[in-house]
Amino acid sequence: MVAASDRRFAVQDAGEVSALFLRPVEARWLLVLAHGAGAGMSHGFLETLANELAVAAVATFRYQFPYMEERRRFPDAPAVLTASVRAAVHAATMRAPDLPLLAGGKSFGGRMTSLAASQQPLENVRGLVFFGFPLHPPKRPATARADHLMSVTVPMLFLQGARDQLASLDLLRPICASLGSRATLHVVPTADHSFHVLKGAGKTDRIVLRELAEALGSWAEKTC
């Protein structure tokens, strides 16, 4: 496996941001991976996930949104966030033009990726992946955050914990059903929004991330 390498790329009207590119020797796919709202691309969850994805033959291009790059507390305006997604996809394409592309992210990062894709198809991206789609705030069930998904034209993989307080499965399952063959839902029993599992689950958090990586690789090969 090639060690993660530092990259930088420009986002229109928002300066430059950092990225980390990790490519295993036998890579078959490249995932453009956005971070969650409160933690950047070097967070332990994404670091471990990237390593597990590499084992599953999926390279990753992790990147920062401008507000995280500048260590600001609040996220950028939606237009800046979606521009960042598009710029990251382009930068990843230039870095590894031989690999087919997927795009997505953890929670907020996944939602911003799908929002960008709903506005205009992302360059060369064959599918979207959500590591905990944040359907609603905790204890405030709603579905408006998913309305834009009907305009996404590529396959989507929803990787969700059964105890995710930001996505009631009673609401998410019908949404995925309404998306038809474009949506695949993979549920991890007892996992929460951060994919922590209960002690009685019979598996560790690291094993859960391995399961997510393997599920992504299998889905990509069959669907994208």
Per residue in 24-51, pLDDT tens? 999 999 999 999 999 999 999 999 999 9
SS3 149: helix
Q: Is the pLDDT of residue 60 over 90?
A: yes
Three-state DSSP state, 126: strand
- Which class is 5-223 in CATH? alpha beta
pTM over 0.85: yes
Could you report the per-residue pLDDT of 99-150, keeping only the tens digit for each?
Answer: 999 999 999 999 999 999 999 999 999 999 999 999 999 999 999 999 999 9
For residue 194, which amino acid is it?
S
Query: Tens digit of pLDDT for each residue in 178-222?
Result: 999 999 999 999 999 999 999 888 899 999 999 999 999 999 999
DSSP states of 156-218 = EEEEEETT-TTS-HHHHHHHHHHTGGGEEEEEETT--TT----GGGSS-HHHHHHHHHHHHHH
Mean pLDDT value across the chain: 96
Q: Which H or E element spans position 125?
A: strand 125-131
